[in-house]
Amino acid sequence: GGAMSMAHVERSRLLLGVGYMMAMGVCGVVLTAIGSILDDVAKHCGTESTKIGSVFIARGAGAIAGAVLSATLYSPPRRGNQILKSTLVALIALIMYLPFIRSIVVLHVVFTGLGFVTAVTDTGCQIMTRKTHGMQAGPWLGANTVVFGIAGAIVPVIDIVTSDTVTMCAVIATVALLTFSTILAAPHPEDPSMHKFLPARGGKKPSGSLGIGDWVRQYYMTEALVGCTVFWL
């Protein structure tokens, strides 16, 4: 029935929202980790981290390219989740390859790749969140940014537990794999069924049953709570 269909769509949106937040968190973790493990990686390449700062320029170049290409990559008829899953697989491969690099040139290539895939993932999560939640996307977009910002705190915790670079990269890759599985389990936001029950433009549900006050209380209380939490944090 209609009620069951609506419940199924809402559960799918919730799963997608969580998946996109996890993907944003993975990007935050990776960007923190590559700085944290650079000393060990530099030693493997026979140099020091202070002498290969150019890897961050390479990462920045990859990030710019990824951000510029994202609009094209996530445009119809492509399915955005397919792009996200591809970038997560590439990210897992690159992060696991880091501890085994012995060439400075290869290191620059890998950092460029990490910059590219994290940028495409980051930008894609925001684009896909908007596609998934429509006019209700505000709190989810804010949550994505918050998760991206605080996820880096996981890296020092991992560093305390283990100082082994391979283990750290394996933990990060595992989180990325869980994120991949979450997005894989959810339907594509482009599917027609996912467009049901979204509120119309102008801030009203299709039934027109909610006033502005009800709308704010129902859909934006989460944003207010998250904002207060982050402020005090």
Q: Each residue's pLDDT tens digit in the chain (233 positions)?
A: 444 477 777 888 888 999 999 999 999 999 888 888 899 999 999 999 889 989 999 999 999 999 999 888 988 888 889 999 999 999 999 999 999 999 999 999 999 999 999 999 999 999 999 888 888 888 888 889 889 888 888 888 887 887 788 998 999 999 999 999 999 988 888 777 766 656 555 444 444 555 556 655 666 677 677 778 877 88
- DSSP character at residue 99: G
Say which residues have a Cβ less than 8 Å from residue 226's Cβ, sequence separation at least 6.
139, 142, 143, 146
**Which tokens belong to 170?**
């394996």
**Which tokens belong to 11?**
């559960």
Q: At what angle are helices 137-150 and 221-232 packed, to 10 degrees?
A: 20
Strand-pair partners of 87: none
Q: What is the pTM of this model?
A: 0.79
pLDDT of residue 199: 56
Residue whose pair of structure tokens reads 């869980």 in the numeric block = 178
- Contact at 8 Å (CB) between 94 and 113? yes
- DSSP character at residue 112: H
Q: How many CA atoms lie within 13 A of 33 on its CB side?
A: 34
- Contact at 8 Å (CB) between 125 and 24? yes
